[in-house]
Structure 1
């Protein structure tokens, strides 16, 4: 029987800072064998999160740039610019994946830790242990580039018909550390495991080329067959379309009768007025710029934009009239 206690890590980017306190609350409610909750985020976000999470909750904020000595957003960006100049994915996209793997090498990590998405709420108790197995939720996603990178790192590609990419993953500290050590011993260019992963991800393709969950799941399939057992959860990835992140407790309670998890991505904006938080977040730079403008400058900018739209509409109307058949007199 596996030891069933575990910690949870929640990597949190700027778009999820306002929502993650609610995620922490629901995670704390739904997992009985949970010991600690670690929110990995930039230090500038600490005060905003602390204001909304009760002090008696077993959580800890960790500066994402201080988790490991050689792992930070600036380091990832620097390596990425050197080895993948034509990449599609951003440094932040890679960085949050490296945080999930790098946590295994940190001083906080114990035997098992669950990585949980900062935009997802658990709506019911979920088990991740069954006898001698660790449980995961298989998905249908497929990106061949993920497996081209895996093959560069380990010498083998896709092993299972399903995908390991989901809203969560229970990691084994020992296996993650072993996998990262094996990556560092590979003949891929670079010294550290994150350098080698980024160099292996340098594919001449527009699609992203690395998945931490797909890499870890494939590694376990080869080296620890049978350890992970698929378990299907009822998940709803587009829950944000209902009422957005301001959804009421009553609506979530109703959803919990059919769902195990509900995700609220920022890009899944509901109808007005529930879309206001997303609208404000997506236009925060524009609002910040407007604060430094005079009233006259704002009116001029709006007027110029309106005139531009009118000229475009007039052009479309003229083109439409030109295509109409001429009436005969």
Structure 2
């Protein structure tokens, strides 16, 4: 994947970017970082990589001028404290990563910060604020448990007309902090304890940080939100195998590509 730079919109606010990652994400993470600098139409202050204390990820942060954040400093507990599994699956790490994202307001310094998955590469220009409104990228797919947990947490049904589980989302720190305070006031405990307690742990997909935040913001003032089709494409090939002409072809129909490789493509991508 070659990298150029798109123009930054002068009226767009500066943002930080937060990317949770583990070692297997080194196959795609360099391309994710490059695509953010190429296609995000906001001034980027810092890109924070939240990860276990991994030397290879630290080296990548150094090469790519990103800020490494040890994930054990973000929450008052580690992944080992979460028990969310069955004899057939284990979602403890998946849930832990979502809780890390939800504490991004304690990491990022800008008023707005973009969270993106470490396996999703932008291939077209993206803007996340326009005319004083936040832009949420959406699709018509979600998990019923996400909405059941949302109702348990906030005492109301989710109101957004589409799903916002689309691999990246712009958070406003003040609104994220308000969401967490609201959860704490309603449940009489820390927001993360309330999330963990509210999940039906017999089901695999019990919570979505993106769905929860987007619906909280939308329910507060839907006129302050713009919804756009995410147009994401999932591919089962290494990110580094795509040629520029292939990327341009995909960009005719899609905004981003996700490389959800659970196994097999753990070789680090080229810087």
Normalising by the smaller structure, the TM-score range is 0.7 to 0.9
Per-residue CA distance 1:180-213 (angstroms, 9 max, x = gap): 111111236xx32111111011x27434211111
Greater gyration radius: 1
Per-residue CA distance 1:198-232 (angstroms, 9 max, x = gap): 1011x274342111111111111222322221012
State the Cα RMSD in Å: 2.7
Give the aligned partner of residue 240 of structure 2.
246
Give the aligned partner of residue 69 of structure 2.
62
Aligned positions of 1:1-329 closer than 5 A: 4-33=13-42, 34-44=44-54, 47-52=55-60, 55=63, 57-68=64-75, 70-75=76-81, 77=82, 80=83, 89-106=90-107, 108-187=108-187, 191-201=189-199, 203=200, 205-237=202-234, 239-240=235-236, 243-250=237-244, 251-267=246-262, 278-279=263-264, 281=266
Task: Tell me the SS of whatever aligns to 1:196.
Answer: helix
Task: Tell me the SS of whatever aligns to 2:226.
Answer: strand
- Tell which has more relative contact order, 1 or 2 (C-alpha 8 A, sep 6+): 2
Q: Is the 8 A contact 1:139 1:163 kept in 2?
A: yes
Whole-Å separation in 1 of the counterparts to 2:230 and 2:166 = 10
TM-score (norm 1): 0.70
Task: Tell me the SS of whatever aligns to 1:206.
Answer: coil
* 1:252 Cα offset (Å): 2.4
Summarize the Cα distance change of 1:193–1:245 in structure 2 as closer, same or farther, 3 Å threshold.
Answer: same
Task: Tell me the SS of whatever aligns to 1:115.
Answer: strand
Whole-Å separation in 2 of the counterparts to 1:91 and 1:266 = 18
Provide structure 1 residue ranges, at least 5 long, that are not aligned to the other structure: 268-277, 283-329
Summarize the Cα distance change of 1:54–1:30 in structure 2 as closer, same or farther, 3 Å threshold.
Answer: farther
Give the aligned partner of residue 296 of structure 1.
none
* 1:62 Cα offset (Å): 0.8
* 1:29 Cα offset (Å): 1.7
TM-score (norm 2): 0.84
Whole-Å separation in 1 of the counterparts to 2:201 and 2:31 = 40
* 1:109 Cα offset (Å): 3.1
Of 23-32 and 244-253, more deviation after overlay is shown by 244-253
Give the aligned partner of residue 293 of structure 1.
none
Whole-Å separation in 1 of the counterparts to 2:110 and 2:40 = 17
Give the aligned partner of residue 305 of structure 1.
none
Q: How many residues align?
A: 256
Provide structure 2 residue ranges, at least 5 long, that are not aligned to the other structure: 1-9
